[in-house]
Amino acid sequence: MKRKLFRKVLVANRGEIAIRVMRACHELGISTVAVYSDADRQAIHTRYAGEAIHIGGAAPADSYLDLDRILKAARDSGAEAIHPGYGFLSERPAFPEACAAAGIAFIGPPASAMHLLGDKLGARELARRNGVPTTPGTGAIDDPALARRAALEIGLPVIIKPSGGGGGIGMKVVEKEEDLVPAIESAANAARSAFGDATVYLEKYVRSPRHVEIQVIGDQHGNVVHLGERECSIQRRHQKILEESPSPAVTPEIRRRMGDAAVAACQAAGYQNAGTVEFIFSEGEFYFLEVNARLQVEHPVTEYVTGIDLVKEQIKVAAGQRLSFEQDEVTFSGHAIEMRINAENPARNFMPNPRKIQRWVAPAGPGVRVDSGYGPGSEVPANYDSLVAKLIVHGADRAEAIARAQRALREFVLIGPATTIPYHRAILASPDFRSGRLTTNFIPEHPELLAEMARFEGEVSPMDYSAVDPRKVAAAVAAVAAMGQR
Q: Where are the alpha helices (DSSP H) in 140-239?
A: 144-154, 180-195
Domains of the chain, by residue range, sit at 8-107, 136-204, 210-457
pLDDT at 484: 55
pLDDT at 145: 78
How many C-beta atoms lie closer than 10 Å to residue 320's C-beta? Answer: 14
Task: pLDDT band for 169, please (50, 70, 90 cuts).
Answer: confident
Q: How far apart, in whole angstroms, are the C-alpha atoms of residue 275 and residue 271?
A: 8
Per-residue model confidence as pLDDT tens digits over 88-104: 999 999 999 999 999 99
Task: pLDDT band for 213, please (50, 70, 90 cuts).
Answer: very high
Yes or no: say if 206 and 288 are a contact pair by the CB < 8 Å rule: no
Torsions phi, psi of 337, nearest 5? -130, 135
Beta bridge partners of 228: none
Contacts of 49 (CB under 8 A, 6+ apart): 11, 18, 22, 32, 33, 34
Q: What is the pLDDT averaged over residues 463-468? A: 79
Give the residue numbers annotated as catalytic, written as ranges.
Answer: 294
pLDDT at 480: 58
Q: How far apart, in whole angstroms, are the C-alpha atoms of residue 284 and residue 482?
A: 68
Supply the DSSP symbol for 248: T
Q: Is the pLDDT of residue 472 over 60?
A: no
Task: pLDDT band for 194, please (50, 70, 90 cuts).
Answer: confident
Q: Which of 13-22, 78-87, 187-196, 224-233 has the lowest mean pLDDT?
A: 187-196
The CATH number of domain 136-204, selected from 1.10.645.10, 3.50.50.60, 3.30.1490.20, 3.40.50.620: 3.30.1490.20
Q: Does 136-204 match 210-457 in CATH topology?
A: no
Yes or no: say if 10 and 74 are a contact pair by the CB < 8 Å rule: yes
Query: Is the previous residue joined to 96 through a cis bond, with omega within 30 degrees of 0?
Result: no
Q: Is the pLDDT of residue 377 over 70?
A: yes
Q: How far apart, in whole angstroms, are the C-alpha atoms of residue 412 and residue 169?
A: 32
Q: What is the pLDDT averaged over residues 28-49? A: 98
Burial status of residue 163 (CB atoms within 10 A of its CB: 0-12, 13-18, 19 or more): buried
Q: How far apart, in whole angstroms, are the C-alpha atoms of residue 27 and residue 19?
A: 12
Q: Which superfamily is assigned to 210-457 in CATH?
A: ATP-grasp fold, B domain (3.30.470.20)
Q: What is the pLDDT averaged over residues 179-183? A: 87
Q: How far apart, in whole angstroms, are the C-alpha atoms of residue 299 and residue 213?
A: 11
Average pLDDT value for the chain: 93
* 60-79 CB burial, b ≥16 within 10 A, e <16: beebbbbbebbbebbeebeb
How many C-beta atoms lie closer than 10 Å to residue 189's C-beta? Answer: 13
pLDDT at 267: 97
Residue type, 317: V
Contacts of 146 (CB under 8 A, 6+ apart): none
Q: Are strands 335-342 and 387-395 parallel, antiparallel or unpaired?
A: antiparallel
Quick one: which of 61, 69, 115 has its CA closest to 91? 115
Q: Does domain 8-107 have CATH number 3.40.50.20?
A: yes
Report how far apart the first and last C-alpha atoms of the chain are (Å, whole number).
74
pLDDT at 486: 54
Torsions phi, psi of 319, nearest 5? -85, 0
Q: What is the pLDDT averaged over residues 163-178? A: 80
User: Percent of the chain having pLDDT more than 90?
Assistant: 78
> How far from chain centre, in Å, is Cα 246?
16
Quick one: which of 248, 211, 226 has its CA closest to 323? 226
Conformation bin of residue 350: beta by default, left when phi > 0, alpha when psi is -120 to 50:
left
Contacts of 99 (CB under 8 A, 6+ apart): 71, 82, 105, 106
CA distances 166 to 73, 162, 180, 440, 481, Å, are 29, 8, 21, 16, 62
3-state SS string for 11-69: ECCCHHHHHHHHHHHHHCCCEEEEEEEHHHCCCHHHHHCCEEEEEECCCHHHCCCCHHH
Q: Which of 35-49, 110-124, 170-184, 378-392 has the lowest mean pLDDT?
A: 170-184
Yes or no: say if 31 and 321 are a contact pair by the CB < 8 Å rule: no
pLDDT at 166: 65
Beta bridge partners of 285: 282
Counting Cα atoms < 13 Å in the Cβ hemisphere of 394 gives: 16
Instruction: Give kind and range of the element (H or E) at residue 340.
Output: strand 335-342
User: Percent of the chain having pLDDT more than 70?
Assistant: 95
Instruction: Give kind and range of the element (H or E) at residue 232.
Output: strand 224-236
Task: pLDDT band for 180, please (50, 70, 90 cuts).
Answer: confident
Task: pLDDT band for 424, please (50, 70, 90 cuts).
Answer: very high
Comparing 350 with 136, which gets the higher pLDDT? 350
Task: pLDDT band for 208, please (50, 70, 90 cuts).
Answer: confident
Q: How far apart, in whole angstroms, are the C-alpha atoms of residue 425 and residue 407?
A: 9
pLDDT at 399: 98
Q: How far apart, in whole angstroms, are the C-alpha atoms of residue 314 and residue 30?
A: 13
Conformation bin of residue 307: beta by default, left when phi > 0, alpha when psi is -120 to 50:
left
Quick one: which of 246, 212, 409 has its CA closest to 335? 246
CA distances 202 to 118, 194, 256, 302, 386, Å, are 17, 19, 29, 32, 31
